[in-house]
Amino acid sequence: MPEDRVAASSSDLTLVPFVVLEDLLQRIFSRHGVSDDNAKILATNCASCERDGSLSHGIFRIAGYLSSLASGWVDGRAVPRLEDRGPSVIRVDAMNGFAQPALAAAVPAILDRVSATGVALVAIRRSHHFSALWPDLEPFALRDLVAIAMVTGFRCVAPPGGTKPVFGTNPLAFAAPVAGTHPLMFDFATSAMSNGDLRLAARAKAKVPLGTGIDSHGDRTDKPEAILDGGALLPFGGHKGAALSLMVEIMASALTGGLFSHEVDFSGYPGAETPNTGQVLLVIDPERAGNSDFAGRVLTLLDTVRASGAARLPSDRRYRQRAEANKDGIPIATDKLRQLIVLAS
Amino acid sequence: MPEDRVAASSSDLTLVPFVVLEDLLQRIFSRHGVSDDNAKILATNCASCERDGSLSHGIFRIAGYLSSLASGWVDGRAVPRLEDRGPSVIRVDAMNGFAQPALAAAVPAILDRVSATGVALVAIRRSHHFSALWPDLEPFALRDLVAIAMVTGFRCVAPPGGTKPVFGTNPLAFAAPVAGTHPLMFDFATSAMSNGDLRLAARAKAKVPLGTGIDSHGDRTDKPEAILDGGALLPFGGHKGAALSLMVEIMASALTGGLFSHEVDFSGYPGAETPNTGQVLLVIDPERAGNSDFAGRVLTLLDTVRASGAARLPSDRRYRQRAEANKDGIPIATDKLRQLIVLAS
């Protein structure tokens, strides 16, 4: 789906510098009930996704953010509260606000805990995560730390054999430093497709592969609208993906004290789209656990994978699109850009 | 594959009490170069796998254990060395011995660290893991802790698009307490099939599903012998499973200071089968991170998954087979039992 960037003719596109998009998005968030501090964080996050080609979590999401804010379901002005729960554990109550400001508030404590003990477990609850996970992890990998994150969503994924959705798309992400180059990162939904990509497919009237989801009767379907309209996505990779999805629910919701995906109830808030659940992060200092050349060892591994003939590594496309956007600007459909300017006005 | 237990006619089977199998296996290990302490640990582990129906890691593995020991590749008498690496990190040098004694040696320190800080990261290197991962985790979940483990193997899995094996089958396992009942556990290879199951399929002259692996020309095949003979397994679930396999290499080998799967070189040790790599465990006290009813919340989640119509949860079959074996004895093919008795004599 992210390739639709390529499909648009160049005359429909405007090339927008990262900082210009960031400023525009910050203004939009600020004008729609988000505090200045939180607006800056969300804008940087959303512009980064658009820049890196994570289009399902870029400006495509703005309508959902604003709709949720307008409904009163999420508090754009929330000030997260940190709780010290021991030398390696940090709890954060996001106070029904967005997850990214909650994580940002915890960063100094995380770095302090990792430095003191080698590991930090970050348990965020009452948080709305409506973006990709990799932007949460990249700053840690750039500091030569290893990081793992999981987040729950709203119920839209049925366990294998089940006919009702229980899990969120429950992404899992990982980041590690690599000697002399960008961190390695991956970030994927434990569902067969992310909600963002499913909605992009529905909007494009495209079909999806069989196995992506079931319709409202529990039958497998290739129609994204049928999955969205009373059906459910399925986990990727059969019972193994389903086990991972279950792990994400346990780690990001039971462990943190947040709601499970199946407990999120938007019904009193028409227009609400952002799930109020939980997020967990594990941040590790690799040099405390292993040898003194961790990042060099990861480079050795990645070189071996490439030499085996593997087409690409998890982060390759993201960094390529980032480099292009940093050089030429972020290509944005001109009608979409006009809509953003209206929202900022 | 584990259902072949059912296929054998009852007259071919002997029902063996757990403790009798454990004693027999301990005697076998002791007679083949394993110290008494280590033999007890390996015997309990192997008998537990057989009891719970993890047949590819039960007595099926004895030949490989003994062959590796006889080759001089693994040290059955190794005494693991613990290194304190900060309040939440424990390094263990398995001293070219089996991984289970290395973990056993670390357990008091792990419980101490978790109690003090909320989290313990256990990094084991120069270790031979030749069994399932769930027996490593269950004792922690029975103490109301959450545990995650990853282990590398020897190269037998090609990244998607690659034609040469780089990764091990690289299993990932997870365990969490559940209020009033057994812990939830899963343990799966990040390859499309485990090596044990692949070898059981080859022995049974069975076919495997397309997508399980490639032959020595890089072509997909349904013949387990072709995968074993110069071919490679593939990761489960396409690029997502491949990303997980890469994460396991980074966590279990780069982080711990152990060898990567692709670096394991048996060639000077004919008969060697056990990989000398690394293992990582994360052990977490959930009540430090979340609410005081973690195990109750996990029960709520599992009840919801069952109510959705899901056929079974990850641990269901294991506990059912364990209950049957505890009641009636572990069903073992009588000719296999005779072979074990010979090995113990």
In this prediction, residue A10 carries a pLDDT of 58
Residue B51 Cα, gap to closest chain A Cα (Å): 22
Q: Which residues contact B66 (CB under 8 A, 6 or more apart)?
A: B28, B32, B343
**Lowest-confidence region among A4-8, A84-88, B213-217, B280-284:** A4-8
- Of B112, B224, B237, the closest CA to residue A234 belongs to B237
Higher local confidence (pLDDT), B18 or B197: B18
Q: Which of B114, B121, B292 to mutate to test the interface with A (most CBs of A within 10 A)?
A: B121
Sheet holding B146-151, edge to edge: B81-84, B89-98, B119-128, B276-284, B146-151, B172-178, B181-188
Task: Respond yes or no: is residue B56 known to be catalytic.
Answer: yes
Per domain, the residue ranges of chain A are 4-191+235-344
- From the list B91, B176, B262, the residue facing A289 with the nearest CB is B91
Helix (H, G, I), strand (E, B) or coil at A134: helix
Check if the beta carbon of residue B325 is closer than 8 Å to that of residue B18: yes
Record: contact B164-A309, CB cut-off 8 A: yes
Give B195's pLDDT tier (boundaries 50, 70, 90). confident
Angstrom distance (rounded) from CA B206 to CA A209 = 29
Residue A146 Cα, gap to closest chain B Cα (Å): 9
Flag residues of chain A having pLDDT under 50: 1-8
- Of A117, A174, A126, the closest CA to residue A146 belongs to A174
Residue A45 Cα, gap to closest chain B Cα (Å): 23
- From the list A159, A166, A301, the residue facing B249 with the nearest CB is A301
Give B289's pLDDT tier (boundaries 50, 70, 90). confident
Measured between beta carbons, which residues in chain A are less than 8 angstroms from residue B238? 236-237
Compute how many other C-beta atoms are within 10 angstroms of the C-beta atom of residue B207: 12
- From the list A251, A289, A300, the residue facing B255 with the nearest CB is A289
In this prediction, residue A84 carries a pLDDT of 84
CATH of B4-191+235-344, one of 2.60.120.10, 3.30.1370.60, 3.40.50.1370, 3.55.40.20: 3.30.1370.60
> Which residue(s) pair with A232 in the sheet?
A214
In this prediction, residue B11 carries a pLDDT of 67
Task: Respond yes or no: is residue B335 known to be catalytic.
Answer: no
Record: contact B89-A117, CB cut-off 8 A: yes
Measured between beta carbons, which residues in chain A are less than 8 angstroms from residue B288? 85-86, 89
Q: Which residue of B has its CA nearest to A280?
A: B289
Check if the beta carbon of residue B84 is closer than 8 Å to that of residue B121: no
Q: Model confidence over A125-150: pLDDT tens digits? A: 999 999 999 999 999 999 999 999 99
Measured between beta carbons, which residues in chain A are less than 8 angstroms from residue B298? 250, 254
Query: What pairing do the DSSP bridges indicate for beta strands B89-98 and B119-128?
Result: parallel
Looking at this predicted complex, what is its ipTM? 0.95
Check if the beta carbon of residue A101 is closer than 8 Å to that of residue A78: yes
Q: Which tokens is B182 given? A: 């057994």
Task: Respond yes or no: is residue B197 known to be catalytic.
Answer: yes
Check if the beta carbon of residue A340 is closer than 8 Å to that of residue A43: no
Q: What is the 3-state secondary structure (H, E, C) of chain B?
A: CCCHHHHCCHHHEEEECHHHHHHHHHHHHHHCCCCHHHHHHHHHHHHHHHHCCCHHHCHHHHHHHHHHHHHCCCCCCCCCEEEECCCCEEEEEEEEEEHHHHHHHHHHHHHHHHHHHCEEEEEEEEEECCCCCHHHHHHHHHCCCEEEEEECCCCCECCCCCCCCCECCCCEEEEEEECCEEEEEEEECCECCCHHHHHHHHHCCCCCCCCCEECCCCCEECCHHHHHCCCEECECCHHHHHHHHHHHHHHHHHCCCCCCHHHCCCCCCCCCCCCEEEEEEEEECHHHHCCCCHHHHHHHHHHHHHHCCCCCCCCHHHHHHHHHHHHHCEEEEHHHHHHHHHHHC
Measured between beta carbons, which residues in chain A are less than 8 angstroms from residue B318? none
Residue B219 Cα, gap to closest chain A Cα (Å): 14
- From the list B120, B236, B255, the residue facing A240 with the nearest CB is B236
Q: Model confidence over B77-104: pLDDT tens digits? A: 999 999 988 899 999 999 999 999 999 9
Q: Which residue of A has its CA nearest to B250?
A: A298
Q: Model confidence over B45-64: pLDDT tens digits? A: 999 999 999 988 999 999 99
